Amino acid sequence: MKNIVVIGAGTMGNGIAHTFAQCGFKVQLVDINETSLQKGLATISKNLDRMVAKEKITEDDKNKTLANINGLTNLETGVKDADLVVEAATENVDLKLKIFKQLDEICNAKTVLATNTSSISITEIAAVTNRPDKVIGMHFMNPVPIMKLVEVIRGYSTSDEITNTIMELSKTLGKVPVEVNDYPGFVANRILMPMLNESIETLYNGVAGVQEIDTVMKLGMAHPMGPLQLADFIGLDVCLSILNVMYDGFKNPKYAPCPLLVNMVRAGKLGVKSGEGFYDYSESRKAEKVSKQFL
């Protein structure tokens, strides 16, 4: 696999494109919104500058990485010669099904279709294509250039050959792939999201404040970041979406999102990306400071 297409230039998409390009792959970064595309490309450049400043890479490494990335707004043009497409669009099942149906129609028959979904069924996504054996999950962690884990999720029909190929490909990116089966939330979010939700319930029930809850988990459980700050960093809308997928999939009340989380999302308080969540990020330098500690 040499030609990689990443769909979606948001936080996860630009991170995935950055990672592939830094490892020598030719990457087409596709986003139908020109503004989002340019913002994603600018983020990659800034993150590379930060890595140069920290002496993790050289200026030459940065230039080679940027040269490996081409930004496009036309999906059909972008995927024409793809060996692998990694979809990293919004965590919305209807949107993902629409994208995969379209990809199946315009991609070469040999093209492998992967999704970065953090909770949605790979089997359901694969079912709208004529190549369910070539559809697989590649769940990268944020921030992608730094985090080592890739959950490799095989759907009901994903072939052994494709699974092995994606496992080996993940290793060439310097990642540690872990194969998991296709159930709501997979492993990472099936364990993480109930913890975040319980932290929000603890706040909602008045047991302790935001700082106190996060301090207990950082100092008592050696977490690098408190659960409420982590929820802000992930995006409260994303947390809510994942919990809803798990609740719908398992019909178990333990996955039901806390009313406080629901109301915060309704109010547009989504965390770092909106400027306010459990913490206040209204000053741009505060939001930048939270993001910088990971790169």
68, 118, 119, 274: which one is catalytic?
118
Residue among 166, 163, 87, 160 at smallest CA distance from 129? 87
The pLDDT tens digits of the residues spanning 191-249 come to 999 999 999 999 999 999 999 999 999 999 999 999 999 999 999 999 999 999 999 99
Known catalytic residue at 252: no
Cross-strand bridge partners of residue 179: 152
- Phi, psi of 213, deg, nearest 5: -65, -45
Known catalytic residue at 130: no
Task: Please state, in angstroms and rounded to a whole number, the distance separating the CA atoms of residues 54 and 40.
Answer: 21
Task: Please state, in angstroms and rounded to a whole number, the distance separating the CA atoms of residues 168 and 178.
Answer: 11
Q: What are the structural domain ranges in the chain?
A: 3-181, 187-290
Annotated binding residue at 13? yes
Annotated binding residue at 172? no
Annotated binding residue at 251? no
14, 121, 151, 276: which one is catalytic?
151
Annotated binding residue at 206? no
Q: Is 226 helix (H, G, I), strand (E, B) or coil?
A: coil
18, 116, 119, 139: which one is catalytic?
139
Known catalytic residue at 139: yes
Domain 187-290 matching CATH 3.40.50.620: the answer reads: no
Residue 77 has pLDDT above 70, yes or no: yes
The pLDDT tens digits of the residues spanning 121-135 come to 999 999 999 999 999
Residue 289's pLDDT band (boundaries 50, 70, 90)?
Answer: low
Q: Please list, in sequence order, all residues whose beta carbon lies within 8 angstroms of the beta carbon of residue 107, skipping any fewer than 6 positions away.
A: 79, 82, 85, 113
Q: Where are the alpha helices (H) located in the chain, listed in sequence order?
A: 11-22, 34-53, 59-67, 75-79, 93-106, 122-126, 160-172, 188-204, 210-215, 221, 227-234, 236-250, 259-266, 284-292
What pTM was computed for the model?
0.89
Cross-strand bridge partners of residue 72: 30
Annotated binding residue at 226? no
Annotated binding residue at 252? no
Residue 282's pLDDT is 84
Domain 3-181 matching CATH 3.40.50.2000: the answer reads: no
Residue 283's pLDDT is 65
189, 197, 241, 274: which one is catalytic?
189
Known catalytic residue at 36: no
184 contacts 125 by C-beta, under 8 angstroms: no
